[in-house]
Amino acid sequence: MELVLVGDRPLAEAAFLSGSGTDNLVIDAAKLSFACPLDLAGIVATAHWAAGGAIRVTLKLPSDPAATAYLQRMDVLRQMPARTQIVGRVPPDARTDHHGSLMEVTALNERNVDDLSERLGPLVTGFYKDGSKAGAAVFRACSELMSNATEHGLSERGAFMAVQLHTGRTTGSPRLEFAVCDTGIGVMNHLRQNPRHAHLTRDEVAIAKAIRAGVSGVKSELRGNGLSDAISDTSRYGRVDFQIRSGKGEVRVAGGPESRRTSSSGRPDQTSGTWAWLTHHLPSERQTVVQSRQ
């Protein structure tokens, strides 16, 4: 199997797992030039999924030294499974403190979710004005995605999350990007635990249903509003781009206070678990950015 990562934000845009071999997974990042949190957490989650199935993992580092240094800085190399073969020159891990503008790829599970939430809170709310309702809404959305990963996406291999803040000096507006990738049962299998949704057979349909209010894999009239609230609440305070993929499907939501557009589609590969990526765009400049490309 092979996962080829080319250009900017490949996992967020077009890259997919290909091939049918079951002995070796090659994550080829040789032509990677820019990575977002979904790329970072997705690389690690894919590697752990493979290693959990006794598949050998090889990571080819980017030929661009800056891209390799960023993977190193964001702890992608540190979080790869044991015995991963690294191809390429590993740079020195000389890092500066950017605790106010990022959270490196971090393993997330039911034991540390509360601690990580406490770390994430000041990072998210500090990106917004003091006492901002926007910061609180975005933090609740991130917490919901973390809870879903540890409650519904629980697996022996766990989940991985990453956060990056951008000033937007070269793109017109600052933004917060949060991603969490779990290796659990996936959205459709979770929903089918509820007899109301046992008929579901397509992943993209299941995901689209899961982001509606009142839909849950748990048989309770009081459950199932988390994802719906996360999208509606954050979009009140700026433009939101939300992507969730699972199995052979994905759903994207884009919009702001006035309107939102939802699109769903099938995928040529299989996402083992659930990957979620939330980007919240702000109208004015805020914090410092580690990656200067964006």
pLDDT for the residue numbered 173:
74
What is the side-by-side strand order in the sheet with 85-87? 17-18, 2-8, 24-34, 56-60, 85-87
pLDDT for the residue numbered 289:
45
- The CA distance from 131 to 159, in Å, is 30
**Is there a contact between 260 and 240 (Cβ–Cβ < 8 Å)?**
yes
**Measured CA angle at 197 (ends 193, 198), to 5 deg:** 65
Q: Are strands 239-255 and 260-281 parallel, antiparallel or unpaired?
A: antiparallel
What is the domain partition of the chain in residue ranges? 2-89+98-281
- The CA distance from 41 to 48, in Å, is 11
pTM score, whole prediction? 0.90
The domain 2-89+98-281 is classified under which CATH number: 3.40.190.10, 1.10.1660.10, 3.30.565.10, 1.10.760.10? 3.30.565.10
- The CA distance from 248 to 253, in Å, is 17
pLDDT for the residue numbered 77:
96
**Which residues in the chain land under pLDDT 50?**
221-224, 285-294
Copy the structure tokens of residue 76. Answer: 């992608």
pLDDT for the residue numbered 219:
54
Per-residue DSSP letter, 92: P
Helices 113-125 and 133-151 pack at an angle, to 10 degrees, of 160
133-170 in b/e form (b: 16+ CB < 10 A) is ebbbbbbbbbbbbbbbbbebbbbebbbbbbbbbbbbee
Contacting residues for 42 by C-beta, under 8 A, at least 6 apart: 11, 179, 181, 275
Long-range contacts of 14-22 (CB under 8 A, 24+ apart): 16/267, 16/268, 16/269, 17/46, 17/269, 17/270, 18/268, 18/269, 22/53, 22/55
DSSP string of 17-36, one letter each residue? EE---SSEEEEEEEEEEE--
pLDDT for the residue numbered 130:
63
- The CA distance from 95 to 154, in Å, is 32
Question: Per-residue pLDDT tens for 56-69?
Answer: 999 999 999 999 99
Strand partners, 62: none
- The CA distance from 236 to 282, in Å, is 11
Q: Are strands 102-108 and 159-166 parallel, antiparallel or unpaired?
A: antiparallel
Question: Per-residue pLDDT tens for 165-175?
Answer: 987 776 667 89
Copy the structure tokens of residue 231. Answer: 């999208």
**Is there a contact between 37 and 241 (Cβ–Cβ < 8 Å)?**
no
